[in-house]
Structure 1
């Protein structure tokens, strides 16, 4: 698929023909560094986004998380002035600036996603007219040994949380043919200790993941996850980029060995027996393939 080219490296990607963002989401935002602490995503300690749950410690029983933009609230009446003669120790602390939230998307990982064919395993559904549409996070195993999975955020323009279907599943075409590539993410293990680098549909870098206080690895549990947006970007596209980043972090959490064991432990004995049997069959099948050349 031919994607429009940006006119200059100093300008944001020419996505207007792809996503058709409303005017309220076309504001150009400068590069910035975002950190996730609990359920809040901030830049320079200023909250910009909020999640309904902490993605990094999410229970396997939760299948959807609300993603909201945090913005300054409308002007509020000024509080009554404090008496001028009050002792310094009684001076009130400055009140935090009032904020309001705007629901943008739902991050979704359906329960028992590995056994389902009706929905993608990880996706975003649009809740706001400021968003371009539903987004599916496709994963591809790297062909290079030691490399982590690659991700593609595929946009289904004009869809939202009420669309039926959420994604156009035509059996004659692949999801990639239906979804337009909005962002891609992959690692370079020899540069950056496996950190993910995000690019737009034209292959231009838009962001890089980093780890603060960890061992240099973005998956390090002792570090704080950080997304450094490295290029100017439209507001609506940054919203989608940050949400896709959070969905990738959810994938990392949900597909870990610890999370899979937690999910298995949560099953009833009958369900666990079925899951173990499926695992056993897949192991036997692989063993048969491996022994076919003997």
Structure 2
């Protein structure tokens, strides 16, 4: 029987909030953070690297979900922040003959799963690439083994949209836009926190892959603002 993956936070218990449904939302990248389109809201995710400067030389990017709790202290609301390490986004060297050029390692029992990404030709007689995301697990030799499909990102026919993201059943989850100054993910489907964590991780992996290929550095810096 295959052993369950090891996690850095192995004593972590499931929280009731992990089963709540998150409504559709617009997310955008600003430096090392992923925000919602609410200008008053704090960031939702933090990364160890600025997304606009990711390159082919980077190997691991830490992704944390930022959870906020409001408590009353002497009649005054106090907000506390807890960073939950949910994924290590990984780009192994070719010398290791990796199963996936880019993959996400689950680092918490709150993470949906580990997964790997592969590219494919999206349309016949077109050079446009799409991306498939597969659930993955470690085999007997500790190498990642791809399993069933989790997400698919397909180049959109609408010029205002870069990619459309679908689940394994073909249901539309989100549309990705990029106007050169603001990279956004318009999540149109209701989903749980773990599903959104995985979708955000896959989104950043796809962007990293494209950044490494095109060497497009310095975009979506910390000065980016939500329109």
2:90 aligned with 1:108: yes
Identify the structure with bigger relative contact order (alpha carbons < 8 Å, sequence gap 6+): 2
- Give TM-score, length-normalised by structure 1: 0.61
The alignment yields a C-alpha RMSD, in angstroms, of 2.9
What is the aligned partner in structure 2 of residue 167 from structure 1? 144
What is the aligned partner in structure 1 of residue 111 from structure 2? 131
Work out the CA distance in 1 between the residues paired with 2:173 and 2:22.
12
Larger radius of gyration between Structure 1 and Structure 2? 1
Q: Which has the higher strand share?
A: 2
Higher mean alpha-carbon deviation, 37-46 vs 198-207, is at: 37-46
Work out the CA distance in 2 between the residues paired with 1:258 and 1:66.
21
2:219 aligned with 1:251: no
Work out the CA distance in 2 between the residues paired with 1:126 and 1:63.
16
Q: Is the 8 A contact 2:102 2:116 kept in 1?
A: yes
Unmatched runs of 5 consecutive residues or more in structure 1:
1-20, 82-94, 169-174, 215-221, 260-294
Deviation at 1:97, TM superposition (A): 3.8
What is the aligned partner in structure 2 of residue 201 from structure 1? 168
Deviation at 1:193, TM superposition (A): 4.7
Work out the CA distance in 2 between the residues paired with 1:96 and 1:254.
41
Deviation at 1:108, TM superposition (A): 0.5
- Give TM-score, length-normalised by structure 2: 0.77
Q: Secondary structure at the match of 2:197?
A: helix
Work out the CA distance in 1 between the residues paired with 2:16 and 2:72.
26
Deviation at 1:132, TM superposition (A): 2.7
- The 5-angstrom pairing of residues 1-294 of structure 1 reads 24-43=17-36, 44-45=38-39, 46=41, 47-73=43-69, 75=71, 77-78=73-74, 97-111=79-93, 113=94, 115-156=95-136, 159=137, 165-168=142-145, 175=146, 179-189=147-157, 191-193=158-160, 195-211=162-178, 214=179, 222-256=180-214
Unmatched runs of 5 consecutive residues or more in structure 2:
1-13, 218-227
Distance 1:145 1:238, change over 3 A: same
What is the aligned partner in structure 1 of residue 221 from structure 2? none
What is the aligned partner in structure 1 of residue 6 from structure 2? none
Work out the CA distance in 2 between the residues paired with 1:247 and 1:97.
31
Q: Which has the higher helix share?
A: 1
Q: How many residues of Structure 1 are paired with residues of Structure 2 in the alignment?
A: 201
Work out the CA distance in 1 between the residues paired with 2:197 and 2:132.
16
